[in-house]
Amino acid sequence: MASSFSARRSKTSIEPHAAPTIDLSAVIMAATPDEPRVLTVRSDPQQPEGLPSGPLQSQHRTLEMGLRSWVTEQTQLTLGYVEQLYTFGDRDRAEAHDPNAGHALSIAYLALVQEARPAGLAHAAWQNWYDYLPWEDWRDGRPKALDVIEPALKAWARAGGKPLRQFREERIELTFGFEARTWTDERVLERYELLYEAGLVPEALRDGATAAKARIAPGKPMALDHRRILATAIGRLRGKIKYRPVIFELMPAAFTLLDLQRTVEALSGIRLHKQNFRRLVEMQGLVEETGEVTTKTGGRPARLVRFRREVLLERPAPGVRLPRLR
């Protein structure tokens, strides 16, 4: 297309460097009542694993079709829900910090799948989200990772001058809520980025952060900026389940209400009040009876329910609203 600014642009633009490279990357998620999972691949045994990614191929009419096509081809997984996440293009994602390197663009997608059966791809594996971002899991109380992170972040804030220090402290409080004891489950990306800026994740050091002596937050790194992409995906999904019934994309055809609750808890990283969760789900008409029960629950047998697809047509914003933590 012709640039709308072409007249002016020709005066100011610089001869393009290397043409940007473009790929599609996918955060493919699955979940059990215990564990939220993401599909990772390891191309180089020496390097940390990363997200599956592939080239943009122009024979597909839409980007999403291109994504579905190569994911299916490579992993034999059938993607359910797919949404575009974000286009990452900051220059520091280039592997080598070659100032002449062009942008390495990556269009990231979030995809949800039901079955967590092993991927057909060699070196691909399902991993627990929280192996990478352990501070995001509050299901068993305050994550121990924060015992390292909190003092390290506070030290980082103190290291700045007066105004910078206050700014940093506010940002820390906003994202981690140490003082107010407020945890906002969706701020996953903001927290990761704060840790990155504070030099508390290995990726930052790799990218040339100064704070070499800073403590490192627990959690496995990933290749390139893939942990950032994962954080983006988790934040997006945590937000989405509150107003869209996407949680069912991760559930089997029939499940118990506790399975559903546990899965929501796994994704959101917080515990919910059982009775209120049930009330919410029933009153929103999100599920319907299958007529069957399961006795494998370890207690009174539970009804098996399934997703009521009709809700997609009824309520403007059906989803699993969550209470605040604390």
Partner DNA sequence: CATAGAAATGCTCGATTTGAGCATTTCTTG
Partner DNA sequence: CAAGAAATGCTCAAATCGAGCATTTCTATG
| Residues at the contact surface with a copy of itself, assessed by CB under 8 A | 1-9, 12-14, 16-23, 41, 43-44, 50-63, 70, 73-74, 84, 86-87, 89-95, 102-107, 121-122, 170, 173-174, 182, 184, 224, 312-313, 316-317, 324
Minimum distance from residue 115 beta carbon to DNA (Å): 22
Contact between residue 263 and residue 31 where contact means Cβ atoms under 8 Å apart? yes
Q: Which of 67, 60, 112 is nearest to 87 (CA)?
A: 67
For a copy of itself, the closer of residues 172 and 247 by Cβ is 172
For a copy of itself, the closer of residues 3 and 294 by Cβ is 3
Minimum distance from residue 238 beta carbon to a copy of itself (Å): 12
Minimum distance from residue 299 beta carbon to a copy of itself (Å): 35
Minimum distance from residue 204 beta carbon to DNA (Å): 35
- If binding is defined by CB under 7 A, does position 321 make contact with DNA? yes
- Which are the contacts of 58, defined by CB distance < 8 A and separation ≥ 6? none
Rounded to the nearest angstrom, the gap between the alpha carbon of residue 38 and the centroid of all alpha carbons in its chain is 9
For a copy of itself, the closer of residues 271 and 315 by Cβ is 315
Question: What is the 3-state secondary structure of the chain?
Answer: CCCCCHHHHHHHCCCCCCCCEEEEEEEEEEECCCCEEEEEECCCCCCCCECCEEECCCCCCCHHHHHHHHHHHHHCCCCCCEEEEEEECCHHHCCCCCCCCCCEEEEEEEEECCCCCCCCCCCEEEEEHHHHCHHHCCECECCCHHHHHHHHHHHHHHCCCHHHHHHHHHHHHHHHCCCCCCCCCCCHHHHHHHHHHCCCCHHHHHCCCCCCCCCCCCCCCCCCCHHHHHHHHHHHHHHHCCCCHHHHHCCCCCECHHHHHHHHHHHHCCCCCHHHHHHHHHHCCCEEEEEEEECCCCCCCEEEEEECCCHHHHCCCCCCCCCCCC
Choice from 159, 273, 288, 290 touching DNA (CB under 7 A):
273
Minimum distance from residue 133 beta carbon to DNA (Å): 24
Interface stretch with DNA, choices 120-128, 151-159, 186-194, 296-304 (CB under 7 A): 296-304
Minimum distance from residue 256 beta carbon to a copy of itself (Å): 29
- If binding is defined by CB under 7 A, does position 274 make contact with DNA? yes
Contact between residue 273 and residue 321 where contact means Cβ atoms under 8 Å apart? no
For DNA, the closer of residues 35 and 49 by Cβ is 35
Q: Tell me, residue by residue from 231 to 270, as one string, x for binding to DNA by CB under 7 A and - for no binding.
A: -------------------------xxx------------
For DNA, the closer of residues 229 and 281 by Cβ is 281
Interface stretch with DNA, choices 1-9, 155-163, 171-179, 297-305 (CB under 7 A): 297-305
Interface stretch with DNA, choices 17-25, 197-205, 213-221, 274-282 (CB under 7 A): 274-282
What are the Cα distances from residue 213, in Å, to 12, 199, 200? 43, 9, 10
User: How many residues line the site for DNA (CB under 7 A)?
Assistant: 22
- If binding is defined by CB under 7 A, does position 213 make contact with DNA? no
For DNA, the closer of residues 98 and 314 by Cβ is 314
**Which stretches of the chain bind DNA, using CB under 7 A?**
256-258, 273-276, 278-280, 293, 295, 297-303, 321, 323-324
